[in-house]
Structure 1
Amino acid sequence: MRITEGYYQVKMNIRQYMQSRQAGRVKKVLLGQNLNDGWLAKVLIYFLLAVIAFLYLQPLFYMMSTMVKSVSDLIDPVVQWIPRKLHGQNLADAWRGLHYPEAFTNTLVIALSCSLLQVISCAITGYALARLRFPGKAAAFILIIITFMVPPQITIIPMYTIFGKLGWLNTPLVFIIPAMFAQGLRGALFIIIFRQFFLTQPKALEEAAKMDGASAYRLFFRIMLPLARPAIIVVFLFSFIWYWNMYYEPSMFLNKEFLPLSLRLNLMQQELMGNSAINFNAGVGKDPISEGPKMAAAFLIILPPLIIYTFTQRWFSEGIERTGLVE
């Protein structure tokens, strides 16, 4: 009798041990050793990331869906994301309405030239503020920070007056010349990025180069500037995107003789609104006649930066980390 009871007791203990061990494995799989190791935490994190990604990508999906819809699909409330038939006329209308080849060339000239000039000028200025010693260095850095904090709307009138006296209005010189002297669009921010990057470099490199007889210019262009590739990539991409998308400054300094894509889009929208007022009474809400071409035009404008970012994403992410912007 006692043997039988002992057998059943051992059997129950083994069963409880196996159940507890199995429960521990399930708990470990679901929750993990740490809070973020288990499947539940991963599912929650992926769900949140998917929601955030959808919120960011939804405007792009809406743009791409609307630009291939016909007027009948835009009017039909049943058609939401996928059109019944792809309609390519909106892209053709947007291409003609934007004068895309001419406007693309104008925008590319401004964005590319100003970005390259800002990389060089801001790198030189940032290196001087980080490594060189000269009178008024602290005051110069404070002034740079002040220019970063001042809104452009405050300085737009004196800048317009100065550019008008110099004869630069309605030409790309209003953007190229300031970028040449590290005072272009967001120039103060780029100087700060380069300054912070050069401050992190070891002084032993400079000391060794100076012992070999390298001058300050050779030290910068042959040693320090190649090391600053992460900062160069970040500054170039930021500068290029901001110059590509700017609207306020071109609307003040440029006219119909030299228009970038942002101003062409505004003119095209005005023309479409006038045509829609004649041809269609849309009432309150979106205008189905002009909605497709406008979305197609917006897509044509953002397509080049998207392509550039697609091929430079890895270097851009590395540059963000190494320049300390994530902090």
Structure 2
Amino acid sequence: MPRWLRTAQSALLGNGEKLGVLKVLLIYFVLINIVFLYLNPLLHMLSTMVKSTADLLDPTVRWIPRSIDLTFLRQAWFGIRFPETFANSMLIAGLGAIFHVVSCSVAGYGFARFRFPGRSVLFGVLIVCFLVPPATLTLPLYILFSKLGLLGSPAAIVLPALFGHGIRGTLFVILFRQFFLTVPKAYEEAAHLDGAGPLRIFLKLMLPMAKPAIIVVFIFSFVWHWNETYLTGLFLRGEFTPLSFALDSLYQDLERMYSSGGYVNNESMKMAASFYVILPPMLLYLIVQKWFMRGVERSGIVE
């Protein structure tokens, strides 16, 4: 093969040291398509929520509206009662995430470090509970909360998280267990020689080291509690309305108004209300993104 042909082949296809032009173009093509798939719904929502009725009905206006109309953002603010429902969602999601971090870190540390009779059996039961569909537990939980007088109260949503149950509680216990298994026992042995007991070792040594796992569990629990609509609609019964449930109620009201012919442009209103719902979790993720990615790497999620 001529030298110039080998040089051209190496530049196009690459060699062991570097990627070729075609491989780089292929990687960028795949990445751009993936980014588009994820950003397309978000960009569509941002574009639609500021469109006027004329722009929405005009088929020539797709992404960029002719004029920015903030009317639907203001109407959606009052339509979902944002200050009230936002505070309710923050209470449920914040307390649920904190309770999950506390209870699941203790359980995960116990499974990772302590030897006690039936540990393997209990961990096996934990795995089985992870495989049980949550819908099968809805009726027993409803009966239990009804007898305890918790229906209509946010305690029906956040109280299970205090005991490591709640939304995806089993997964969080497993995440903490996997993280604590990666910590060398020499740290605990050194602290034990200094006179520290198990509780002090956990609170003063292991828990600060588990910051990556804590952030991962907190974000996951916060988002899942924030987006929950089925359990909130069933247990709270409209007496304590979080933001996600208010969004669903607004959608139903808009559909009824549209069916009766009293409202023409409900798409912009829907997108504006959805924007208010997804904005707080997005801001939270942007703030803790760096620590979240480190936590994912160290918690065993990517393995």
2:251 equivalent among 261, 269, 278: 269
**Equivalent of 2:286 in 295, 310, 321:** 310
Q: Is the contact between residue 31 and residue 37 of structure 1 (CA under 8 Å) also seen in structure 2?
A: yes
Give the CA RMSD over aligned residues: 1.6
Q: How big is the shift at 1:189?
A: 0.1
- 1:295 and 2:271 equivalent? yes
Unaligned runs of 5+ in 1: 1-15, 281-286
Deviation at 1:320, TM superposition (A): 0.6
**Structure 2 residue aligned with 1:52, among 11, 29, 34?**
34
Residue by residue over 1:238-266, the C-alpha shift from the partner in whole angstroms, topping out at 9 and shown as x without a partner, is: 11111111111101101222111111011
- CA distance in 1: counterparts of 2:126 and 2:20, whole angstroms: 48
Report if aligned partners of 1:74, 1:288 keep a CA contact under 8 Å in 2: no
Moved more, 287-296 or 45-54: 287-296
- Determine what percentage of the aligned residue pairs are the same residue: 48
Count of aligned pairs between the two proteins:
303
Q: Give the partner amino acid of 1:85.
A: S
Mark the structure with the bigger radius of gyration. 1
Offset of 1:26 from its aligned partner?
3.4
Residue 279 of structure 1 aligns to a residue whose secondary structure is coil
1:90 counterpart = 2:66? no
Letter in 1 for 2:297: E
Q: Is the 8 A contact 2:85 2:243 kept in 1?
A: yes
TM-score normalised to the size of structure 1? 0.89
Alignment pair present for 1:43 and 2:25? yes
What's the offset of the Cα at 1:36?
6.5
The 1-side partners of 2:180 and 2:210 are apart by 8
Matched letter for residue 217 of structure 1: L
Contact 2:49–2:73 (Cα < 8 Å) also in 1: yes
- 1:319 corresponds to 2:301: no
- What is the distance in 2 between the residues matched to 1:122 and 1:288? 48
For 1:43 and 1:288, locate their aligned partners in 2 and report how far apart those are by CA, in whole Å: 45
User: Which residue pairs with 2:171 in the alignment?
Assistant: 189
Equivalent residues in 2 for 1:248-267 (5 A)? 248-267=230-249
Any conservation in 1 of the 2:157–2:231 contact (CA below 8 Å)? no
Partner of 1:164: 146
Residue-by-residue CA offset, 1:102-137 (whole Å, 9 max, x unaligned): 000000000011101111110000000010112221
Tell me the amino acid that sits aligned with residue 189 of structure 1.
Answer: L
TM-score (norm 2): 0.96
2:192 — aligned with what?
210
Alpha-carbon distance change, 45 to 249 in structure 1, aligned in 2, over 3 angstroms:
same
Match of 2:107 in 1: 125
Instruction: Tell me how far 1:217 sits from its aligned partner.
Output: 0.2
Secondary structure in 2 matching 1:258: coil
Quote how far apart the aligned CAs of 1:267 are. Answer: 1.0
Q: For residues 177 and 264 of structure 2, what CA distance do their matches in structure 1 show?
A: 50
Give how far 1:86 is off: 0.9
Question: Any unmatched runs of 5+ in structure 2?
Answer: none
Query: Superposed, which structure 2 residues align to 1:57-136 within 5 Å?
Result: 57-136=39-118
Residue 30 of structure 1: aligned partner: 12
SS in structure 2 opposite 1:289?
coil
Structure 2: which amino acid aligns with 1:303?
A: L
Farther off after superposition, 131-140 or 233-242: 131-140
Task: Work out whether residues 69 and 85 of structure 1, in 8 Å CA contact, stay in contact via their aligned partners in 2.
Answer: yes
Which stretch shifts more, 248-257 or 157-166?
248-257
